[in-house]
């Protein structure tokens, strides 16, 4: 017996669904492949099956108060429609209505980065502070902005795209089609690309040795490993990514005067090597009072962030 909330973390390769109570304690989970390559109907059937499995394990006498779903975008949270998602191969899918019709429970939809921001704010490193910015640095750079304890969605719901701030005019090409975005300069993808470029110059870098000379295999993990081992070329690549991150975050600190910035995603795993210089540099790149106030913290939630964030959409 009791009240529960269901969160669906929808990704291009897997669907993770969980049921939790209002404190974020996950009681039941289901993990299965999205099978996006089999088409939209197949992936929707998998989402339904995953939710059905969680409901079944939860037991008939439990009350489910809502289903939240975090999905790759672009999407409309207001309409509950995923417009188009290269990861899912979806085009204009009214997923909220589809799931409400199926289960008779209220459904809310939000993009995955915003959902992760909500999760860290409510259950993680944000500790429900008043104003918080979440940034995830992995293959791409995404973000979620919490203002006065609420997700800041913007007029059309597209706010929080911190990875697509221009930080270099005519800089490297970004996945969004524009140039010089933060994502094109400081994401894991950008770090890996830079590693391959440097290795191809023929300079004496251990990055090449780490992949047995197969330069195409150099990615951000290889660069980070070479950096940790003292390779000066890798060090310069990581330093450069941190400088660009400090520009992006410094701008956000000046604009939003947040209490906390929480950084997640694979690149944040390099730990102090990232956080210590970043904290120092932000002091020089943002309004003094705001820079002195903000805490720069590592995300806390790990693999459950997507499920917990989706639950935040519906938890009272
Ligand atoms: Zn971009």
Q: How many A from CA of 248 to the centre of ligand 1?
A: 13
Q: Measured in angstroms, how far is the CA atom of residue 100 from the centroid of ligand 1?
A: 34
Peptide bond into 287 cis (omega under 30): no
Count the Cβ atoms, other than its own, within 10 Å of residue 226: 27
Cis peptide before 74 (omega within 30 of 0): yes
Q: Whole-angstrom Cα distance, residue 193 to residue 85?
A: 24
What one-character DSSP code corresponds to residue 60?
A: T
What number of other Cβ atoms are within 10 A of residue 67's Cβ?
29
Q: What is the pTM of this model?
A: 0.94
The answer to whether 307 and 18 have CB atoms below 8 angstroms apart is: yes
Q: Give distance in angstroms: CA of 230 to centre of ligand 1.
A: 31
pLDDT at 51: 98
Strands 260-264 vs 132-137: parallel, antiparallel or unpaired = parallel
pLDDT at res. 1: 59
Q: Answer yes or no: are the C-beta atoms of 15 and 32 closer than 8 Å.
A: yes
Give phi and psi for 30, each to the nearest 5: -145, 135
Class for the domain spanning 2-118+304-312 = alpha beta
pLDDT tens-digit series, residues 163-191: 999 999 999 999 899 999 999 999 999 99
- Ligand 1 ion: nearby residues, β-carbon < 5 Å: 164, 174, 176, 181
Tell me how far the alpha carbon of residue 37 lies from the centroid of ligand 1, in angstroms.
26
Q: How far apart are CA 44 and CA 215, in angstroms?
A: 39
Please, where in the chain does CATH 3.30.420.40 lie? 2-118+304-312, 128-299
Mean pLDDT of the 255-272 span: 96
Rounded-to-integer distance, Cα 114 and Cα 260, Å: 16
β 295-298/81-85 pair status: unpaired
H helical segments located in the chain: 40-58, 95-103, 112-123, 182-186, 188-200, 206-210, 220-228, 232-256, 272-285, 288-293, 305-312
Answer yes or no: is pLDDT of 125 > 70: yes
The share of the chain scoring above pLDDT 90, in percent, equals 94
What is the CA(46)–ligand 1 centre distance, in A?
A: 31
Quick: pLDDT tens for 233-253.
999 999 999 999 999 999 999
Residue at token pair 């104003």 = 131
Of 1.10.15.40, 3.30.70.20, 3.30.1280.10, 3.30.420.40, the CATH number of 128-299 is: 3.30.420.40
pLDDT at 313 over 80: yes
Q: What is the pLDDT of residue 150?
A: 95
From ligand 1's centre to the CA of 178, what distance in Å?
Answer: 6
pLDDT of residue 46: 98
């Amino acid at each position: 017996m009791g009240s529960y909330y269901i969160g669906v973390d929808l990704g291009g390769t897997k669907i993770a669904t969980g049921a939790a109570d209002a404190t974020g304690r996950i009681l039941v989970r289901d993990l299965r492949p999205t099978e996006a390559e089999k088409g939209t109907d197949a992936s929707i059937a998998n989402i339904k099956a995953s939710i059905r499995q969680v409901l079944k394990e939860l037991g008939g006498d439990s009350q489910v108060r809502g289903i939240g779903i975090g999905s790759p975008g672009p999407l409309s949270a207001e309409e509950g429609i995923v417009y188009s998602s290269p990861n899912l191969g979806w085009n204009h899918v009214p997923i909220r209505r589809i799931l409400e019709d199926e289960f008779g429970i209220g459904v809310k939809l939000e993009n995955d980065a915003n959902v992760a921001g909500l999760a860290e704010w409510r259950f993680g490193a944000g500790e429900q502070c008043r104003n918080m910015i979440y940034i995830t640095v992995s293959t791409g750079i995404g973000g979620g902005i919490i203002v006065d304890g609420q997700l800041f969605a913007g007029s059309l719901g597209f706010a929080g795209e911190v990875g697509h701030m221009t930080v270099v005019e005519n800089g490297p090409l970004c996945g969004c089609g524009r140039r010089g975005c933060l994502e094109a300069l400081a994401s894991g993808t950008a770090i890996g690309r830079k590693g391959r470029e440097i290795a191809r110059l023929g300079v004496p870098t251990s990055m090449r040795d780490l992949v047995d000379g197969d330069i195409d295999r150099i990615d951000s993990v290889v660069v980070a490993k070479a950096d940790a081992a003292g390779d000066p070329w890798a060090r310069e690549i990581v330093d450069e990514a941190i400088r660009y991150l400090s520009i992006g975050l410094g701008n956000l600190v000046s604009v939003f005067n947040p209490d906390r910035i929480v950084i997640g995603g694979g690149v944040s795993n390099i730990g102090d090597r990232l956080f210590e210089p970043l904290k120092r540099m932000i002091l020089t790149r943002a309004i003094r009072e705001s820079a002195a106030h903000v805490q720069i913290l590592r995300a806390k939630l790990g693999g459950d962030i997507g499920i917990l964030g989706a639950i935040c959409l519906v938890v009272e």
